[in-house]
Amino acid sequence: MLNLNNDQLAAFTVLCRSRSFSKAAKELNITQPSLSKRIAALEEQLNLTLIERSSRSLNITRQGDRLLQYTDIIASLEIELFADLGLDISSALSGSIRVESKSTLITHLVIPSLSSLIRNHPYISIDFQMNDFPFLSNSLKEGRTDMALNWQPIDSNKYENIELGKESYSIAIRKNTRPDFKIFLDANPDDPITTEFFRQKKKSLSGVKRLFLNNNEGIIQGINSGLGVAILEDRVIEKYSDCLTYYKSKKEMMLPVYLQYRKQKAHSKLLRKCIDLIILEAKQYFSDFRPKE
């Protein structure tokens, strides 16, 4: 029977969260060589590669991600036990959670839903990660995030797919100008929004040029600079109504938003709490917004 060393597990957990040997060593108050020895000893005991190192990055392997889930659950259960026993502890919640989605959903849905939780529980850490839709599934599968808000469901045998609501999209154009429909702006070549819009409208992208501007902020600046038009969330078009407007009509396309996380026998109390709060906030987020007539 394996007897995992607590110091080695702590070193592994801190390293995974910081993604830096120097930062992790500083947090643990040990030298970098000592940290490396602890990680190497843990990998040797398990006969697994947990961390892949390169000159530029540090990546967690699939086995490492599974071990990280274990350490998170153990840490949360320990805090819950202390609270149940009435021991002197200021918070029954602890641990770290990573949430990933488009910038619009992170900014306007996820952060508001979890802000009170963060303020009231000093022992938790929530990392908000912004990424575009095509990369969210990979982030979840490769263990780079614990939860994702995505528009396409993924393997229901391994992941929960909770539909939170539907987001409305329309063609955004520059205000008070004649739009050029020969150029559509997207975040990157893998951004599926324009392609999905044309698919739903049963139109061809043939002859349409696509220009890539990294994120929503770049796309908005591109429209305002006269570079082209874009498919954007209606709430984004209205937020920037000083420079953007709708082309013809609103709610041209509806896409679902799914809250996704890994299925497993037990989730940490922190993860369960975050799920409940995001679902609750989503009801208001999607029901309250109505495009202005």
Question: Tell me, what CATH number does 19's domain have?
Answer: 1.10.10.10
Q: How confident is the model at residue 87 (pLDDT cuts 50, 70, 90)?
A: low
pLDDT tens track for 12-49: 988 887 788 888 888 888 888 999 999 999 999 999 99
Per the CB < 8 A criterion, the answer to whether 146 and 116 are in contact is: no
Residue 45 counted as domain residue = yes
Nearest to 229 by CA among 208, 215, 250, 249: 208
**What pLDDT digit, counting tens, does each position of 191-244 carry?**
899 999 999 999 998 889 999 998 889 999 999 999 999 999 999 999 999 999
Percent of the chain with pLDDT over 90: 46
Q: What is the CATH number of the domain that holds 247?
A: 3.40.190.10
pLDDT beyond 60 at 128: yes
User: Of 92, 125, 143, which residue sits at a domain end?
Assistant: 92
pLDDT beyond 90 at 5: no
Q: Does 144 reside within a domain? A: no
What is the model's pLDDT at position 110? Answer: 96
Q: What is the overall mean pLDDT for the chain?
A: 87
pLDDT, tens digit, for every residue of 155-206? 888 899 999 999 999 999 999 888 888 999 999 898 899 999 999 999 998 8
**Cβ(237)–Cβ(244) below 8 Å:** yes
**Does residue 157 sit within a domain?**
no
Report the C-alpha gap between 32 and 38 in whole angstroms: 10
Distance in angstroms (rounded) separating the CA atoms of residues 141 and 144: 8
Structural domain span for residue 174: 166-254
Distance between CA atoms of residues 176 and 225, nearest Å: 12
Question: Average pLDDT of 280-290?
Answer: 88
Which of residues 42, 59, 92 is at a domain's end? Answer: 92
> For residue 283, is pLDDT > 80?
yes
pTM over 0.85: no
Q: Is residue 36 part of a domain?
A: yes
User: Domain for residue 236, yes or no?
Assistant: yes
Domain count for the chain, please give it.
Answer: 2
3, 85: one domain = yes
Q: Which residue has the higher pLDDT, 167 or 57?
A: 167
Q: Which of 68, 92, 116 is where one domain is finished? A: 92
**Is the residue at 65 inside a domain?**
yes
